[in-house]
Amino acid sequence: MKIAKYADTKPTRELPGVLKREVITARDGAPNFCMRVFEVEPGSATPEHAHPWEHEAFILSGRGVVRGGQGETDIGEGSVVFIAPGEQHCFINTGKQVLRFICLIPLQD
């Protein structure tokens, strides 16, 4: 079991305006999934991309849109997002506060 404080996990800057914290990884003994927390500053976005695996996101705070195969959809605190394998996507902060979300992805070899 691992119990840690989010603030104790060192962030990495993905892009200007986008921080990522890997809060649970294979280093913690997790054999199947990685849990990441992203912080997207107002006016910033994650890069538009696709990958061969699904992933899920839970919006902790802030407002924005997720751009995917069906266009843009508003997201905010409590929104749950499923992204299918191969689906082009990105998260865009359209609000005035940090957009913070948890992202679960399968571990890659």
Output the domain CATH number for residue 101: 2.60.120.10
52: nearest Cα among 90, 84, 82? 84
- Tell whether 13 is covered by a domain: no
Asked whether the predicted pLDDT for residue 15 surpasses 70, the reply is yes
- Counting the structural domains of the chain, the total is 1
Residue 6 lies in a domain: no
Is residue 41 a part of any domain in this protein? no
pLDDT tens for residues 72-102? 999 999 999 999 999 999 999 999 999 999 9
Q: What is the pLDDT of residue 61?
A: 98
In-domain check, residue 95: yes
Segment 18-51, tens digit of pLDDT:
999 999 999 889 999 999 999 999 999 999 999 9
Per-residue pLDDT at 6? 85
pLDDT at 59: 99
* E strand residue ranges, the chain: 12-15, 18-24, 33-40, 55-61, 63-68, 71-76, 80-83, 90-93, 99-106
Q: Are 37 and 91 in contact (CB under 8 A)?
A: no
Q: Which domain holds residue 62?
A: 48-109
Residue 70 lies in a domain: yes
In a domain, 1, yes or no: no
For residue 108, pLDDT beyond 80:
no
